[in-house]
Amino acid sequence: MPSAETRAIMQGMNAAAAVPEHPVPRDDLVFRQLDEEWVVFDPLANTLHVLNLAAALVWTHCDGQRSVTEIVEAVRSAFGEVPAGTDLDRDVTATLASFRELGLLV
């Protein structure tokens, strides 16, 4: 699940409207684990995006083949029981919307 900080950043976004049905990252991006963190390097913007574990899990399922619903189910399966009060559909969609807003998805 996204951290409280990530959720705060994403509040107020019209997430569903900004997310493609089958998200796919740009071909030029580099996704790697560095020490204990997962990062996406954007060479066009010369920017390094640090992802928490939940966002990294969402990212790994953005392959252009999986739908948003399938990505939500993959995250649900990976985390098992979701804490009470967590809206996983909203959180995953908001994470995808954030990726889109940052220009990381095509």
Residue, of 74 and 85, whose pLDDT is higher = 74
DSSP label at residue 31: E
Q: How many residues does the chain have?
A: 106
Give the tens place of pLDDT for each residue, 12-41.
Answer: 445 556 799 999 999 999 999 999 899 999
In a domain, 2, yes or no: no
**CATH code for the domain in which residue 66 is found:** 3.90.930
CA distance 29 to 87: 29
**Cβ-contact 90, 13 below 8 angstroms:** no
In a domain, 3, yes or no: no
In a domain, 62, yes or no: yes
* Of 33, 30, 101, 25, nearest in space to 62 by CA: 25
Residue 5 has pLDDT above 70, yes or no: no
> Model pTM?
0.81
Number of domains present in the structure of the chain: 1
Domain residues for 51? 21-101
- C-alpha distances in Å from residue 14, one per residue of 18, 46, 57: 7, 27, 22
In a domain, 4, yes or no: no
Q: Give pLDDT, residue 83.
A: 85
